[in-house]
């Protein structure tokens, strides 16, 4: 009978009896894998959660502000005044500092329901680079509301997500645009076969066989060795370790293989030693400079000492290590990410200006023909007696009498209508000539400004200078207009979280749906009847049915079906609502809609703002 041993989140089968002798493989002197250092490795994230539990328990969150590419938690804590979560790319990172990163003029308060909450604890979610902060908030009635703030440093989910602890309801999330919301505070990314925290006493036979065959790529008679999905080639030893063991990163895998060579027992002993030190919770923080090609000077932080030969590391205290790492790597990486985003935005604006300038140049050439059109119109007036319906062209002498001029005509129009057509073209060109010239000058100046901005970006070093390039975003995705004001819509506060916004005209419907609403907001409209677009801000999968019915009743009330006893109302997420090309203002096409039947009404005892 086989014995099953639990390892991490899976089961590995181990046959009883003596462990067979494994052939010795050639000792590796190099392991040329692509070195991709994660924003923060799993070991450091796991230890960081433990350290934050000791440092932040009892601290008050005085506020959370959002800015381009990150969030800042302001803490009532002398040792850690600010905790920054930055996500300029796919992965998030954490930095501690003694001052705010983004000035108030470039940030927006978010997750205001936990302002004033007290941190009751911090814990890691296994080795998944996820930190959970437990929060206690006192309501105006003296009750204690419990929340969980999830900080995700992997690229799988949103970097910051707030949940109610009682029912695990998602209250808000922030992160890279392509990331998705976790289903719960304890939602794990895909797991690996083994975990550094729970390694078996001996190296498992399947892993041992894979490592051995990777030293001898030609010796794989059974076809058991995993192969790279990219090129079908045999995986290198470090790749096998990374795909098999939770908690490893490329730097640590490479260092362990250099230290152990082809000695599997020594490699496993080093891995188990790291796991024991991590479980023991006695951390000694080291800041390493990894001298690898292409990343010279890049710093990596670990809560324990790495094998010799990997890099030069210096021991530091927890706070000093995190501050140095933040100042040496996290903040510079964030600034570089902002610069790349700013350059991309400036290049898009530059392309837009060039296309517009080309279009205006063509319009200007057309408008400058106004003088010619007026001259042709005058000639047609002079030779009116020669015109007849059905003529495609007439050839007449110009006023000097020295040359013949061929004037195209529309055979379907009368002579007088043909004459009027040329004068209308002349009038339009003369009227638009000044407008087009002024607009062209404006676009030329904007084009020059964008070119100067591109040259300037590389020399920017201050956060506020780079943030000033981006338009300020409001919570929920709405953007400020050029005059700095958000469009004012009719709104109804349905409860502490949900607000319904109603458009009052076709153009306001367009602004509400296609400019103000965020992708996750719910969009409502009376089915088969003309009416207002209605946006439910603050909606998610846990929004009560009562709130959806109230919003649908609002959409029915502001439609031509208001006097009906029952009105069908369609609703869907705004991400599934599109404006057809060339359609009139207020037009929208939606997909994946649902239909709900309601009675038209306004929210009870709730006056519009």
Residues 466 and 527 in one domain: no
pLDDT, position 385: 87
Indicate whether 180 belongs to any domain. no
Q: Report the CATH number that the domain containing residue 149 is assigned in CATH.
A: 2.30.310.10
* Total Cβ atoms within 10 A of residue 593: 16
Residues 136 and 234 in one domain: no
d(CA 277, CA 300): 19
524 Cα distance to chain centroid: 25
**Closest listed residue to residue 534, CA positions, set 561, 556, 557, 503:** 503
Residues 251 and 384 in one domain: no
Residues 374 and 494 in one domain: no
Q: What percent of the chain has pLDDT over 90?
A: 20
Indicate whether 343 belongs to any domain. yes
Total domains present in the chain:
4
Contact 304, 277 (CB under 8 A): yes
Residues 299 and 333 in one domain: no
Cβ-count burial of 23 within 10 angstroms (0-12 exposed, 13-18 middle, 19+ buried)? exposed
pLDDT, position 46: 93
pLDDT, position 176: 81
Cβ-count burial of 81 within 10 angstroms (0-12 exposed, 13-18 middle, 19+ buried)? middle
Q: Which residue has tokens 């638009």?
A: 432
Residue 432: domain span: 328-470
Residues 389 and 520 in one domain: no
In the predicted structure, residue 603 carries a pLDDT above the cut 80 = yes
d(CA 403, CA 482): 54
- Among positive and negative, which fits the CA dihedral 396, 398, 399, 403? negative
pTM above 0.75, yes or no: no
140 Cα distance to chain centroid: 34
**Closest listed residue to residue 81, CA positions, set 106, 103, 59, 65:** 59
Q: Which residue has tokens 């109610």?
A: 164
**Closest listed residue to residue 129, CA positions, set 60, 55, 203, 182:** 182
Indicate whether 587 belongs to any domain. yes
Residues 451 and 541 in one domain: no
**Domain end among 470, 498, 522:** 470
Q: What residues form DSSP beta bridges with 152?
A: 130
Distances (CA, A) of 156 to 128, 176, 280: 10, 10, 28
In the predicted structure, residue 205 carries a pLDDT above the cut 80 = yes
Contact 491, 500 (CB under 8 A): yes
In the predicted structure, residue 541 carries a pLDDT above the cut 50 = yes
Mean pLDDT of all residues in 459-488:
59
Question: Hey, which of 13-17, 201-205, 252-256 has the most confident mean pLDDT?
Answer: 201-205
In the predicted structure, residue 47 carries a pLDDT above the cut 80 = yes
In the predicted structure, residue 177 carries a pLDDT above the cut 80 = no
d(CA 89, CA 159): 11
Indicate whether 478 belongs to any domain. no
Indicate whether 16 belongs to any domain. no
Give the pair of three-digit tokens for residue 517.
Answer: 């609403």
pLDDT, position 555: 94
Strand blocks (E) in 413-462: none
Indicate whether 438 belongs to any domain. yes
Indicate whether 231 belongs to any domain. yes
Q: Find all residues with CB under 8 Å of 106, minimum gap 6, and list them.
A: 67, 68, 464, 467, 468, 472
Mean pLDDT of all residues in 79-97:
85
Residues 157 and 218 in one domain: no
Residues 46 and 88 in one domain: yes
d(CA 541, CA 551): 15
Mean pLDDT of all residues in 103-115:
84
Pairing, β 245-246 against β 285-289? unpaired
Pairing, β 61-67 against β 10-14? unpaired
In the predicted structure, residue 367 carries a pLDDT above the cut 50 = yes
Q: State the pLDDT confidence band at 136, using cuts at 50, 70 and 90.
A: very high
**Closest listed residue to residue 427, CA positions, set 370, 366, 377, 376:** 370
Q: Report the CATH number that the domain containing residue 437 is assigned in CATH.
A: 1.10.287
Q: Each residue of 255-302: pLDDT tens digit? A: 888 888 778 888 899 899 989 989 888 888 888 876 553 343 467 888
d(CA 244, CA 196): 10
* Total Cβ atoms within 10 A of residue 277: 18
Pairing, β 245-246 against β 194-195? parallel
Residues 142 and 261 in one domain: no
Mean pLDDT of all residues in 215-242:
55
d(CA 106, CA 85): 16
In the predicted structure, residue 322 carries a pLDDT above the cut 80 = yes
Residues 461 and 525 in one domain: no
**Closest listed residue to residue 287, CA positions, set 276, 302, 274:** 302
Mean pLDDT of the chain: 79
- Burial string for 320-343 (b: 16+ CB within 10 Å, else e) reads ebbbbbbebbbbebbbebbbebbe
Residues 344 and 396 in one domain: yes
Indicate whether 607 belongs to any domain. no
């Amino acid at each position: 009978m086989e014995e099953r041993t639990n390892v991490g989140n899976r089961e590995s089968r181990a046959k009883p009896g003596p462990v067979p002798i494994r052939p010795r493989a050639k000792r590796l002197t190099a392991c040329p894998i692509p070195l991709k250092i994660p924003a923060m490795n799993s070991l450091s994230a796991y230890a960081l959660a433990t350290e934050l539990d000791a440092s932040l328990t009892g601290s008050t969150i005085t506020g959370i502000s959002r800015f381009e590419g990150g969030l800042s938690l302001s803490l009532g804590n002398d040792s850690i005044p600010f905790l920054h979560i930055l996500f300029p790319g796919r992965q998030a990172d954490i930095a501690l500092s003694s001052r705010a990163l983004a000035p108030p003029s470039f940030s927006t308060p978010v997750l205001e329901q936990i302002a004033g909450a007290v941190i009751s604890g911090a814990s890691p979610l296994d080795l998944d680079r996820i930190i959970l902060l437990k929060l206690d908030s006192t309501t105006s009635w003296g009750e204690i509301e419990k929340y969980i703030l999830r900080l995700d440093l992997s690229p799988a989910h949103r970097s910051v997500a707030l949940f109610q602890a009682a029912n695990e309801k998602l209250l808000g999330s922030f992160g890279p645009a392509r990331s998705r919301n976790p289903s719960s505070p304890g939602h794990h990314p895909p797991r690996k076969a083994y975990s550094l925290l729970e390694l078996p006493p001996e190296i498992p036979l399947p892993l041992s066989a894979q490592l051995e065959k990777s030293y001898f790529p030609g010796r794989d008679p059974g076809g058991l060795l995993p192969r790279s999905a990219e090129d079908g080639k045999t995986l290198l030893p470090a790749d096998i370790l990374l795909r098999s063991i939770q908690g490893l990163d490329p730097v640590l895998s490479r260092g362990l293989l250099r230290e152990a060579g082809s000695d599997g027992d020594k490699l496993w002993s080093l891995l188990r030693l790291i796991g024991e030190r991590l479980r023991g919770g006695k951390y000694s923080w080291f800041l390493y400079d990894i001298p690898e090609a292409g990343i010279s000077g890049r710093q990596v932080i670990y809560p324990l000492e790495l094998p010799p030969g990997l890099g030069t590391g210096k021991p530091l205290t927890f706070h000093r290590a995190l501050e140095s790492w933040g100042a040496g790597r996290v903040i510079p990486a964030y600034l570089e990410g902002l610069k790349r985003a700013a350059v991309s935005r400036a290049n898009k604006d530059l392309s837009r200006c060039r296309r517009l300038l080309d279009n205006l140049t063509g319009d200007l050439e057309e408008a400058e023909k106004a003088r010619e059109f007026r001259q042709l119109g005058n000639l047609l007036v002079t030779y009116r007696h020669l015109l007849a319906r059905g003529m495609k062209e007439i050839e007449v002498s110009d006023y000097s009498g020295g040359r013949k001029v061929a004037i195209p005509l529309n055979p379907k129009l009368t002579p007088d209508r043909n004459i009027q057509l040329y004068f209308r073209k002349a009038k339009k060109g003369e009227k638009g000539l000044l407008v087009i010239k002024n607009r062209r000058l404006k676009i030329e100046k904007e084009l020059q400004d964008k070119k100067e901005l591109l040259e300037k970006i590389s020399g920017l070093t201050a956060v506020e200078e780079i943030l000033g390039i981006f338009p300020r975003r409001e919570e929920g995705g709405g953007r400020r207009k050029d005059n700095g004001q958000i469009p004012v819509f009719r709104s109804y506060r349905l409860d502490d979280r949900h607000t319904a916004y109603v458009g009052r005209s076709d153009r306001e419907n367009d602004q509400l749906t296609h400019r103000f609403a965020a992708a996750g907001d719910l969009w409502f409209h009376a089915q088969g009847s003309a009416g207002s677009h209605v946006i439910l801000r603050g909606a998610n999968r846990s929004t009560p049915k009562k709130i959806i019915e109230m919003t649908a009743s609002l959409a029915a009330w502001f439609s031509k079906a208001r006097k009906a006893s029952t009105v069908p109302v369609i609703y869907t997420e705004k991400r599934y609502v599109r404006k057809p090309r060339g359609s009139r203002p207020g037009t929208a096409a939606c997909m994946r809609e649902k239909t709900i039947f309601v009675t038209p009404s306004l929210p009870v005892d709730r006056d519009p703002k």
